[in-house]
Each structure stands twice: as C-alpha cells, then as structure tokens.
C-alpha cells in the first residue's frame, strides 16, 4: 500500500502497540535545554534511575543566556541558577553539553542540524515546541512537555497516539524579495493558528524543493504556529549534501549506506493524506503580522481586516488594542523602534548573509535599535570570517552573541512596553518579547528594510 | 500524581479564544528548577499590572468567581510546549479545563499532571458560559469514570471523550514512566534489530 513519508518513519519506530490508539514510539535523538529539563532530571533522581541512553541526548544552554559579554557570569540569579543546574545535571547523568561559551553552543534547533546530529528518517524530540524545525531533514521531530522529557530520559520512548497527516503543496517561483519566512507566514494566515491542530504536516511542491536546507528549516520551524505537531520535508540531494561532512554525520562507507536508506524516504505516489492544501507561490508577497497570534498575518500591501469581516471579532479588538493598530489600516508606513533579526526561525548564516547583502552601504534610521543575534557560535564565527560583522557595524546594526535573545522575554533582551519591534522570530503573542512589547513578525529582508527606513516598507521596491 | 476522583465545583469563566501558554505563564517565570510556586503567576500579565497591582476586571481577581474548573474559549493552550502552564493551573488549584478545542501539547501536558481537559462543542461551551453568567455560584459535576460533565442546576449531562489508557492513568494516579520502565526488555530488543544512520 502506498505510504506517506510520515507513516514510513512512524511505523519503523513502533516498539509496541498499547491499544488501538496508543503506541510506544522509540526516540532516536533527544535535545534538551535549561528551561524544560530540570524537573525531568529531578524526576529521575526521585525514582533513583539512570538516564537510559546518554549518547542519544544532547544539551545546550540557550533560552536564558545573555547575548553580550557571555564570558561574564549571568547577572540574573534565577537565569544563572537554571543554566548552572543544567551543567550539574549533565555532569551527573553523563549528557554531552554545549555550555555557554562552548564553541559549538547555540539555539538548540540551530545546532542540531549544524552538527549533523539531525538526520533523515529519525524520530527527534525536545522539550520545546520549535523542535518541528528538524523535520526539514525528513524526520519526525516534535516538541514535548517536561513529563515526556523524563519519559525519554528513562526509556528513550514515548507513549503516543498517531496524528493525522496533512500535505501542504506550494508550487511555482517566489517573487524577488519574498522568502521562506513569507511562505510559512502566508500558509499560517490562511490556515489560522489552530488550523493544523491534530496533524503532522508534510510540505511539498516545487517551491519547497527548490529551497535550501536553511529555508526549509524556516518553514518547518513555524509548523507549530498553526497548531500542527510538526512539519517535514522529504529529503533529497539538497538534504544529503547539507549533511555530508558535518561533525556527527555518518562518514565514508557509512554515509553511502545511510544514503541508501535515506533515499527511500518520500511519500509514495498515491499515498493519501487526511487533509491537503495547495498554494501558488506567485500569490505570496512579503508578509507581516498585525495581531497577537501568528495566524493574524497580511501581505505588506493589504489592510488589517475589519471587525465585520473577521471570524472572531472579540479577538481582533483585543489584539488591535494591544498592538495599538486600527482596523482597515495599512502596516506599510508604520513606524517601528526595534528590529530583531534572530531566533531558531531566522538566525542561520544564510539569513545573516541576506541581511548583510541588503544593508551594505546603507544606514539604519536614527531612532531604530537594530539587533542581529546569530543562532549559534558557529554562525557567529562564520559571519565574522566573511566580514559580515563589519557590514553590520557600518550600517549601524549590532551583532550580538548567540542565544534565543529577544525571541522570548526570558533573558536580558527585551522590547520595552508599547514599542514596536519587527522581528524574524516566530511568535507575536502578548508579552512574548517583554511585557507590553508589540511584535510584528516578518522575514529577515523585511526586517532589514524596516531598520533602514525606520518604518515598515515593501522590500520589493528595492529588488530588480 | 494523585488519583482523580469525582467532584463538584463552581467554575471560573475565561471567554477568550486562543489563550496561549505565554499568557498562562509568561516566559520570565520559567526560571524555576522545581514544579512548585507557578500558581502565583498563573495569567500573571492579565492578573497584575506592571506595578504588581491587581487588575480588577480580570476574572481571577473577581471575588465572585472561584472553583477548580476553568472554562475557556476555543484553542486553549496553544503556543509554547512549556509544561509550566499545567503546573501553574495545578498550583492555582484548577483540576479541569473546559474548552471547545485544545492545543495538542497542552492537552498532553495537562493529562500528565492530573488535570483533565474536557472538550465540548461550541454550543455546549456557550451554554456553560451562560450558566455561569446567570449564576456565578452554579455548580458543575465532573465524573471521569462515566466521562460526564454535568451542569447541575439545569440537569444537562455532557459526555466527553478521553482515551482509555489516559483515563485509567488519571483514575489510578499512574504515569507513563511507570509503564515504560516495565518495557525495558522490549525496548532493548527493538534497538538491537534495527540500523539507524
Ligand atoms: S529562539 Fe525562540 S522559539 Fe527558538 S528555541 Fe529559542 S525561545 Fe524558542
């Protein structure tokens, strides 16, 4: 019978059927960070058991870390305690940790792929919803809660019900200035923030297959923002090339054997999905969010919807009040005070290159604070080797040290209440970037253009 | 985990859709390394203003409303996977959340912490909100064994779904780890028969 990519991988990981809906699923890779792991380690300790498969577990500190002066102790005592607790736990239970200051440290979803730990055909989990990022390599990757982190620690397995499958096909060529970020924001705006709940998504079509690995990660990263458990893309030559020669990737003969296995990973012709959507790349323009969930998105030249046409008027009113925006308003021309280019959605080297290329020879607007926060130490190093740091400095952008930074208001990097921030991150929830902060999600290019002009602009005017 | 027993309680209404876990417990409160104390910061930024004064019109600050049941708008618990959201609800004393739709990860986290998410239809949710609006003292009964949610004074019984395995776990107060630890041999056998690259 024709099988979907999802089913092929899922079925290969069933250890046992519990009942008609629940199965024990084996987990190949487990990433952990400081925020969602301490209570799981305590759980092991309370039960008096070991961590079952330490070699399949990788840790990094990312959410709480400062992005300036990382060589100094973390100022906030609670953040410091959480990061220190991770270090102690990893030592006690024998887990490989890329601690603050380590040359391979970075945001968990950036370092996994970058180090070649993330590979096709695997099951991958992390106590973090954006684990969906890893699905870009053709695997089943999803976020879990802390109780489940403890389950994986204890048994390398999870008890799960199989989700439904959805295929989203995007065909055609994107306009100049329109990127993977715009594609996913567009899809979420069409499906809404809950449209994918209960599903695992496979992205397909010529637009997706012509994307680089980093662009594919941007797309899969935000699958969770439409409620989906995860997103995946069938691996192809682009995937295999990316993995080859990475630190932990299979080498030589093993790599050749791996290729044989990886090449069987695609949805068979005729495989059926529980839900299908198709989009045309030509319809997608630069996207922006105007509200307080990622489904509230419009193209730069569209108006914010009116109450009368909106599905949930109460939510629209509440969101627009919070955002200080009006129904029917155009976002183009909206003044912004902060620009955040970073997060596991858009802080990889290609993102930084695109921004550098765009801002070269330009100057940010005086009233704007423009931050670029690389996704990992390796991205930071690469950026410096390529001289991007000078380009950023000349344009008035600040290149900081790696971490989650202003993606979430947990570390020192926050957006002040009432200020507008155009951000390449993935969530525009109330207070996400700090209490009262107003987040407008966008692509790195749109964010860079807004930094230059001090207001939101249609980046396509710079193209050609 | 404590066993889940049949109970009756008043309910707290939160008729807002897409309540995300950043609202349930904002990121800046995720720095603890234990599961205790999160209840104090449940819905922190809706409950308190920037000077830590109570915001009078938020439902948790309204002395009229109390109880172990939270009734919320559609798509409750979307966003971040933080289990702290479940710990915050639990810490505050919420045992049941009723909504017409739950985000996946939240639902799993709630169940793993002995909180029962009850999914009802949009119409049923409206009736429940109306019942509380008419009488904030209105009582509801939760019977997990019978999978029934009852609006006591109206005598309306609403049946809800829960899969058998999770139901058993809640009723007995067991968790998934107990089950998985018993499977060690099968897990090792599984590992031995496969190659993963
Ligand atoms: S960058 Fe943001 S979304 Fe990504 S892992 Fe960090 S906090 Fe989560």
Q: For residue A381, name the pLDDT band (cuts at 50, 70, 90).
A: very high
Q: How confident is the model at residue B106, as a pLDDT? A: 95
Q: Backbone dihedral region of A247: left (phi > 0), alpha (psi from -120 to 50 degrees) or beta?
A: alpha
CATH class of A288-462: alpha beta
Q: How confident is the model at residue A312, as a pLDDT? A: 83
* Mean pLDDT in residue range A365-372: 98
Q: How confident is the model at residue B80, as a pLDDT? A: 87
Topology of the domain comprising A1-285: Aconitase; domain 3 (3.30.499)
* Mean pLDDT in residue range A261-273: 98
Q: How confident is the model at residue B175, as a pLDDT? A: 85
- The DSSP call for residue A117 is -
Query: Does residue A149 register a pLDDT over 80?
Result: yes
Query: Does residue A346 register a pLDDT over 80?
Result: yes
Q: How confident is the model at residue B48, as a pLDDT? A: 96
Q: How confident is the model at residue A19, as a pLDDT? A: 86
Q: How confident is the model at residue A171, as a pLDDT? A: 98
Query: How many angstroms does the Cα of residue A344 sit away from the middle of ligand 1?
Result: 6
Query: Does residue A311 register a pLDDT over 90?
Result: no
Predicted ipTM beyond 0.90: yes
> How far is Cα A462 from Cα A460, in angstroms, rounded to an integer?
5
B175, closest residue in chain A (CA to CA):
A147
- Is the CB of residue A339 less than 8 Å from the CB of residue A371? yes
Residue B37, min C-alpha distance to chain A (Å):
13
Query: Does residue A464 register a pLDDT over 80?
Result: no
- Residue A130 — φ and ψ, nearest 5°? -80, 15
Residues in chain B: 197
Query: Does residue A195 register a pLDDT over 80?
Result: yes
Query: Is the distance from the beta carbon of residue A411 to the nearest atom of ligand 1 less than 6 Å?
Result: no
CB–CB of A435 and B45 under 8 A? yes
CA angle at residue A394 from A391 to A396, to 5 degrees? 110
- Is the CB of residue A230 less than 8 Å from the CB of residue A100? no
Query: How many angstroms does the Cα of residue A375 sit away from the middle of ligand 1?
Result: 10
State which of A60, A62, A413, A429 you would mutate to test the pocket of ligand 1, scoring each by most atoms of that ligand within 8 A of its C-beta: A62
Residues of A in contact with B27 (CB under 8 A): 63, 408-410, 432
pTM of the complete model: 0.93
What CA–CA distances, in Å, run from A96 to A100, B8, B191? 13, 48, 21
* Mean pLDDT in residue range A192-201: 95
Residues of A in contact with B32 (CB under 8 A): 38, 78, 82
The gap between the terminal CA atoms of chain B, to the nearest Å, is: 38
Q: Hey, which residues 330-359 in chain A have their CB within 8 Å of chain B? A: none
> What is the per-residue pLDDT across A410-439, written as a single tens digit (0 to 9) for each?
999 999 999 999 999 999 999 999 999 999
User: How many interface pairs between A and B have CB atoms less than 8 angstroms apart?
Assistant: 186
A80, closest residue in chain B (CA to CA):
B31
Query: Does residue A376 register a pLDDT over 80?
Result: yes
Surface-to-core class of residue B127, CB atoms within 10 Å of its CB (0-12 exposed, 13-18 middle, 19+ buried): middle
Q: Which long-range contacts (CB under 8 A, 24 or more apart) does A138-142 make?
A: A138/A5, A138/A232, A138/A233, A138/A234, A138/A235, A138/A239, A138/A262, A138/A265, A139/A9, A139/A232, A140/A6, A140/A9, A140/A10, A140/A13, A140/A200, A140/A230, A140/A232, A141/A220, A141/A230, A141/A232, A142/A200, A142/A229, A142/A230
Q: Is residue B181 classed as helix, strand or coil in its secondary structure?
A: helix
Q: How confident is the model at residue A426, as a pLDDT? A: 98
Q: How confident is the model at residue B88, as a pLDDT? A: 97
Widest CA span of chain A, in angstroms? 64
> How far is Cα A31 from Cα A25, in angstroms, rounded to an integer?
16
Q: Atom 2 in ligand 1: which residue has the minimum CA distance?
A: A407
Q: How confident is the model at residue A400, as a pLDDT? A: 98
Helix, strand, coil shares of chain A, percent, nearest 5, are 35, 20, 45
* Mean pLDDT in residue range A42-65: 97
As averages over each run of 10 residues, the pLDDT of chain B (197 residues) reads 93 96 93 93 95 94 97 94 94 97 93 96 98 97 98 96 92 89 96 94
* Mean pLDDT in residue range A301-328: 93
Query: Does residue A310 register a pLDDT over 90?
Result: no
Query: Does residue A363 register a pLDDT over 80?
Result: yes
* Mean pLDDT in residue range A258-269: 98
Query: Is the distance from the beta carbon of residue A216 to the nearest atom of ligand 1 less than 6 Å?
Result: no
Query: Does residue A271 register a pLDDT over 80?
Result: yes
Q: For residue A252, name the pLDDT band (cuts at 50, 70, 90).
A: very high
Q: Where in chain A is the domain with CATH 3.30.499.10?
A: 1-285, 288-462
Q: For residue A309, name the pLDDT band (cuts at 50, 70, 90).
A: confident
State which of A407, A414, A428 you would mutate to test the pocket of ligand 1, scoring each by most atoms of that ligand within 8 A of its C-beta: A407
Q: For residue A51, name the pLDDT band (cuts at 50, 70, 90).
A: very high
* Mean pLDDT in residue range A163-170: 98
Give the pair of three-digit tokens for residue A254. Answer: 């093993």
Query: For A432, which of B16, B22, B181 is closest by C-beta distance?
Result: B22
Mean pLDDT taken over chain A: 97
């Amino acid at each position: 019978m024709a099988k979907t990519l999802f089913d092929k991988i899922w079925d290969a990981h069933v250890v046992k059927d519990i009942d008609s809906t629940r199965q024990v699923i084996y987990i190949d890779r487990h990433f952990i960070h400081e925020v969602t792991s301490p209570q799981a380690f305590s759980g092991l300790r309370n039960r008096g058991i070991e961590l079952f498969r330490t070699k399949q577990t990788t840790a990094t500190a990312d959410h709480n870390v400062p992005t300036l002066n990382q060589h100094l102790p973390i100022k906030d005592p609670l953040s410091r305690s959480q990061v220190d607790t991770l270090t102690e736990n990893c030592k006690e239970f024998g887990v490989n940790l890329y601690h603050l200051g380590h040359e391979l440290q970075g945001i968990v979803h950036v370092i996994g792929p970058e180090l070649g730990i993330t590979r096709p055909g695997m099951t991958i989990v992390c106590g973090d919803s954006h684990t969906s990022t890893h699905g870009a390599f053709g695997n089943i990757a999803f976020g879990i809660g802390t109780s489940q982190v403890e389950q994986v620690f204890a048994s390398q397995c999870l008890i799960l019900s199989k989700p439904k499958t959805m295929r989203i096909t995007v065909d055609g060529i994107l306009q100049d200035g329109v990127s993977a970020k715009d594609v996913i924001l567009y899809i979420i705006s069409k499906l809404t923030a809950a449209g994918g709940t209960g599903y695992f998504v496979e992205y397909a079509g010529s637009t997706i297959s012509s994307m680089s690995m980093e662009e594919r990660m941007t797309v899969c990263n935000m699958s969770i923002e439409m409620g989906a458990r995860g997103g995946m893309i069938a691996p192809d030559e682009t995937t295999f090339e990316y993995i080859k020669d990475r630190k932990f990737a299979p080498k030589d003969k093993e790599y050749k054997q791996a290729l044989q296995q990886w090449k069987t990973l695609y949805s068979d012709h005729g495989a059926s999905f529980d839900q299908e959507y198709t989009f045309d790349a030509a319809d997608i323009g630069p996207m922006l969010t105007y509200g307080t969930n990622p489904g509230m998105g419009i193209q730069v030249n569209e108006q914010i919807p009116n109450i009368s046409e909106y599905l949930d008027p109460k939510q629209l009113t509440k969101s627009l009040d919070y955002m200080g925006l009006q129904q029917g308003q155009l976002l183009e021309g909206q003044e912004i005070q902060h620009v955040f280019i970073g997060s596991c959605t858009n802080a990889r080297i290609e993102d930084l290159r695109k921004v550098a290329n765009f801002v070269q020879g330009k100057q940010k607007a005086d009233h704007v604070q423009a931050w670029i926060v690389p996704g990992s130490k390796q991205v930071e190093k690469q950026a410096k080797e390529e001289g991007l740091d000078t380009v950023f400095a000349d344009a008035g952008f600040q290149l900081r040290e790696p971490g989650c930074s202003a993606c979430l208001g947990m570390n020192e990097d926050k957006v002040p209440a009432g200020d507008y921030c155009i951000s390449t991150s993935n969530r525009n929830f109330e207070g996400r970037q700090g209490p009262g902060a107003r987040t407008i999600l966008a692509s790195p290019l749109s964010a860079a253009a807004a930094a230059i002009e001090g207001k939101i602009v249609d980046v396509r005017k710079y193209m050609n | 985990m404590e066993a889940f027993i049949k109970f009756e309680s008043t309910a707290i209404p939160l008729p807002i859709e897409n309540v995300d876990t950043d609202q349930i417990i904002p990121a800046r409160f995720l720095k603890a390394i234990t599961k205790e104390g999160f209840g104090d910061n449940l819905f922190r930024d809706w409950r308190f203003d920037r000077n830590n004064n109570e915001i009078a019109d938020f439902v948790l600050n309204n002395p009229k409303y109390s109880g172990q049941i939270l009734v919320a708008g559609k798509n409750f618990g979307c966003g971040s996977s933080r289990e702290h959201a479940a710990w915050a609800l639990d810490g505050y004393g919420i045992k049941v959340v009723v909504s017409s739709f739950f985000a996946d990860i939240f639902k799993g986290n709630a169940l793993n912490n002995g909180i029962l998410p009850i999914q009802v239809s949009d119409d049923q949710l409206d009736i429940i909100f109306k019942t509380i609006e008419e009488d904030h003292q209105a009582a509801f009964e939760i019977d997990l064994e019978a999978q029934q949610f009852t609006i006591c004074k109206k005598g309306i019984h609403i049946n809800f779904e829960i899969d058998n395995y999770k139901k058993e776990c809640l009723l007995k107060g067991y968790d998934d780890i107990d089950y998985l630890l018993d499977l060690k041999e099968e897990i090792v056998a599984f590992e031995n028969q496969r190659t993963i690259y």
